[in-house]
Amino acid sequence: MNWPLEAFLSFIASMAFGVIFNTPRRTLLSCGLVGMTGWLIYRVFVLFLEDPVQATFAGAFSVALVAHLLAKRFKMPMIIFSVAGIIPLVPGSKAYNAMRNIVENNYLEAITFASEALMISGAVAMGLVFAEVLMQMVFKQMAKRIQKKIGMTQN
């Protein structure tokens, strides 16, 4: 596989989705970066673990993590950055194959593809949630530490 090409294409695709969803102009590049991160991490995990479900989890997790950091940096809702980045991880081809096999009366194959698609969309959801919980814990800890610092300087 061709790493620079994939990085470039996923960057452009995520930016294009940013345009479709009308994200603010100055965040378009960051949206592209988020999408690129998610896709590359997904590809690396597919290469080493050969399990698309775990790879999708890792990809979605990193997308949400980067989106949270960018949201703090830009002071904008996190959703602006995560939406475009999630799109490449959506199991479009699995769902398509499931549909195609149903139409061709290959129900057993269709079930295989459909359950894979279901597992992958579940992995996307879990990745998003885990990153969110992690970031909340980290930010709470940071807020506590800052409060402690202020309290100590006051004393």
Partner 1 sequence: MTQIDETRRELALDCFLLAGKLLMENGAETYRVEDTMIRMAISQSMTDSHCFVTPAGIMFSPSDKLATRFVRISSRRTDLERVALVNSVSRKLVAGELELLEAYEELKTIDRTNYMFNIWLQILAAATASGCFLILLGGSWSDLPFAFAFGGTGFIIVETILEKTRVKFFAEFVGALAIGVLALLAVYSGYGNNLDTIIIGSIMPLVPGLLITNAVRDLMAGHFVSGLSKGAEAFLTAFAIGAGIALVLSF
- Among residues 3, 48, 72, 93, the one that binds partner 1 under rule CB under 8 A: 93
List 72, 73, 100, 145, residue binding partner 1 (CB under 8 A) = 100
Residues 110, 100: Cα–Cα separation, whole Å:
8
End-to-end Cα separation, the chain, in angstroms: 60
CA-closest candidate to residue 74, choices 19, 137, 29: 29
CA separation for the pair 37, 31 (Å, rounded)? 10
Task: Lay out the site mask for partner 1 across 46-85 (x = CB under 8 A, - = otherwise).
Answer: -----------------------------xxx-xx-xxx-
DSSP tag of 90: S
Choosing from 20, 111, 137, 142, the residue that interacts with partner 1 (CB under 8 A) is 20
Considering beta carbons, is residue 54 or 95 the nearer one to partner 1? 95
Distance in angstroms (rounded) separating the CA atoms of residues 42 and 58: 6
Query: In the set 53, 65, 97, 113, which binds partner 1 (CB under 8 A)?
Result: 97
Asked if 85 and 16 count as a contact pair (C-beta separation under 8 A), the reply is no
Contact footprint for partner 1 (CB under 8 A): 5-6, 9-10, 12-13, 15-17, 19-25, 27, 39, 75-77, 79-80, 82-84, 86-88, 90, 92-93, 95-97, 99-100, 102-104, 121, 124-125, 128-129, 132
